Structure 1
Amino acid sequence: MKYRIVKYIGLAGTLLVGGCSDWLDVDPKSQIKQEVLFESEAGFRDALTGIYTVMVRTGMYGGNETMVFLDMVGQVYTEVSINYMDALEYDYEATKVEECIDAIWRGNYNAIANCNHILANIDEQKDVFSSGVYEAVKAEAMALRGFLHFDLLRGFAPSYVRGADKAAIPYVEEVTNKPVAQLTVAGVIDKVIGDVETARQLIREVDPIGPAYDSYTESGYETEDYIQGDGFWLYRKSRLNYYGMTALLARVYLYKGDKTKALEYAKEVIDSKKFSLLEESQLVKDKTWGYLCSENEYLSSLYVYDMEEGRSDVYFG
């Protein structure tokens, strides 16, 4: 599904605007300045967490880019709230539909701007990091930038098969308030692959859920360990980890039509034996396959704290 861009939207974004105050607040009346935030490893880690926080908002992957707007234009629902009927009819200039499209466009580029803030500062501050954290933070920020651009491409540009040489979207790689020129569809795909592959190699040897470790488990961890202290390496499935990046590359190459490369990356994930992926026979025979998939089939994820009460119950009540 493609949506026409009906208005020019500035691509400027900073760590202190666009609703990021939830994760930058020191107290209700003050915010951390950028130069202070990036003085320590903890600041970079907080900034990275902030990107995920932006991504799970209702206007993005906590709603519009999953169960709400995209599912509506994908005709997943037979009926929706009267406020969203225009989405089922592809009336992209209706007020409510425009709001959804703008939320996706602005939200993704805001998250991309936050990725770029980290990437613009991290090399100068490499000495503040403990072992492996520099590589992980930089890799995740770079891979997330690729992921966010890829989803914008799929939504706002022709498909690779139909228009590889056609104008697509801007690929923003620096913190700027100036317009960034559109690349072609093929140009964006090349940038996505470049970012994600570079990130994947950077994190390969340090990610606990990567090939450098024989096994990975999250059992036995307490919530307190994750929230406080040295919990950065816990719950790697709730981040864009090494195998999440690898699977993303498989997906991007499949979108490009390069099935050989897609298979290569997909097999690396499967052959790692780190995920209890389902066999086709289980999907056919087991009536609880939906539950099994949710438990076993994901490689990395975004965590939404109020997913059931705040989201699922609203749309599937």
Structure 2
Amino acid sequence: MSTAYLKTVAFFASIAVAFSVSACADFLDVEPRESIADDLTVTDQKSAATALNGVYSALASGGYYGTSFQSIGYLTGDNVQWTGTQSQVQEFINHNVRADNSTISTVWSAIYVTINRANHVISKVPAVTDPLLTEALRNQYVGEAYFLRALAYFDLARTFGGVPIITEPTLSATANQGIPRATQAETYAQVLRDLETAEPLLPNPATVATNDRYRATRKTVWALKARLYLYQQNWALAEEYATRLISDNANYQLVAPFNAWFTGNVRGTRESVFELFYNGTTEVNGHRGQWQPTVNGGTRQWAPNQALVSLLTTEPNNAANGRSALIAAVNNTTWYGNLYYRSPGSDPSYIFRIAELYLIRAEALAQQGKLPEALADLNAVRGRAGLEASPAATPEEVLLAIEQERRLEFALEPHRWFDLVRTGRATALFKDPLDVNAPLPSFRLVLPIPISQLQVDAALKQNEGY
């Protein structure tokens, strides 16, 4: 079954079953339209909103931020062990991922589903004439779709390298076949184009209150720009865009103690820049079942490894409810991740937290030789976790301290592997799965293109080495 076919089907599913991303919103009750021509699927304000909600639905799906994509970020790092029966999970931990791995196939398809739904909104909504769809609202819908497409291509690029760039809706099963892969740099350039397009379309926070933590705003554009520029080593712009959020301390703060942004069933705290809403019934976050032990109704397929447990439980001067709150133990022996604990599966997925912006700015400052300022941002994050100021002094020490802080601050979020790849540290920390005496080969810094995609499209070429 081709990617194009999957994306076509998924778009129509989004029209039939779409969810709102605000904490108090309900599903939109829309009749299925699989049999209706595409030019009739987005015809008024209500159907435009439904189509946009379908993009968020794809973003939050189990194949994307609902579980599978995020798992690549933490399983491939050095914080997690595999304890279950799905042998393909071990491929990530061993850095020996095969092209027939079902997770990468799921992730590839889920992200392109998101892109295709965004493409439909971008293509169809500007032509809608409905008095209820004001110009401001139309611009907002299209701006959100551009942002979500930018995030999707960013995640594809950092996972697989260059990918086919598709910016028009998929209308037939074979429409996208024959499109060659762009380079990773070209894919990141597409991300930036989409962000530049999205920014002026979204409401101006200087004139309109735009602090919705559940959907795209100009502030989420700034957050992704900061992350993108960090990956591209554009330190000055990474600093600039991180500062835009950090300086908005009326809306974004490092909440204390550390666990205040996720325990006690809280949502949308000032820690959060952008998170995904799940209600646990019609919208389910699948993470809980993978992390929680059987006594809590989970399978504990993956768990914090001993290295992470030691780091989190022995952090010097760690205050009560510090970062050790990310993990828990059954009978003080069987450790499990406790970021996702709500039953049945209503935990948010956290895409941007203000802590990340502090550490992005810290790294960007350190790379520019501004060590006192970098240490101030690093120590703000450490202080929230109940830790004393970092003793790091030299540029090398400060950068390693920031790396370590990111490892623990985002221990169960999808950052560790991508951090080690973008800084060039992965090949030093991990061994070749086929030769334990050799460093990790550089080709393994990106994952293979799924074999299922190569088999249906001859224009797709496998990453070198796979």
* Amino acid aligned to 2:246: I
Q: Residue 75 in 1 paired to residue 75 in 2?
A: no
Q: Residue 58 in 1 paired to residue 62 in 2?
A: yes
1: CA distance, partners of 2:127 / 2:230: 36
- Unaligned 5+ segments in structure 1 are 1-7, 158-167, 218-235
> Is the alpha carbon distance of 1:291 and 1:9 closer, same or farther for their aligned partners in structure 2, counting shifts above 3 Å?
farther
2: CA distance, partners of 1:19 / 1:87: 31
1: CA distance, partners of 2:34 / 2:127: 26
Q: CA deviation at 1:263?
A: 1.2
1:258 alignment partner in structure 2: 234
2:272 alignment partner in structure 1: 298
2:169 alignment partner in structure 1: 175
1: CA distance, partners of 2:77 / 2:251: 29
1:89 alignment partner in structure 2: 94
Q: CA deviation at 1:244?
A: 0.8
Equivalent positions of 1:147-296 (< 5 A) are 147-157=151-161, 168-176=162-170, 177-178=175-176, 179-205=178-204, 210-213=205-208, 236-278=212-254, 288-292=257-261, 295-296=269-270
Name the TM-score, length of structure 2 as normaliser: 0.52
Tell me, yes or no, if the aligned pair for 2:10 and 2:113 is still in contact at 8 Å.
Answer: no
Q: Going by fraction, where is helix more abundant, 1 or 2?
A: 1
2: CA distance, partners of 1:263 / 1:197: 17
> Is the alpha carbon distance of 1:211 and 1:14 closer, same or farther for their aligned partners in structure 2, counting shifts above 3 Å?
farther
Give 1:117's match in structure 2, choosing from 115, 120, 132.
120
Name the TM-score, length of structure 1 as normaliser: 0.74
2:53 alignment partner in structure 1: 49
* Amino acid aligned to 1:187: E
Question: Which shifted more, 253-262 or 20-29?
Answer: 20-29
1:164 alignment partner in structure 2: none
> Is the alpha carbon distance of 1:305 and 1:32 closer, same or farther for their aligned partners in structure 2, counting shifts above 3 Å?
farther
How many residue pairs match? The answer is 267
2: CA distance, partners of 1:152 / 1:85: 21
Percent identity among equivalent residues? 22
> Is the alpha carbon distance of 1:313 and 1:181 closer, same or farther for their aligned partners in structure 2, counting shifts above 3 Å?
closer
2: CA distance, partners of 1:142 / 1:292: 28
Q: CA deviation at 1:45?
A: 0.6
Q: List structure 1 runs of 4+ shifted beyond 6 angstroms.
A: 28-31
Q: CA deviation at 1:243?
A: 0.4
- Unaligned 5+ segments in structure 2 are 19-27, 294-466
* Amino acid aligned to 1:91: N
> Is the alpha carbon distance of 1:274 and 1:140 closer, same or farther for their aligned partners in structure 2, counting shifts above 3 Å?
farther
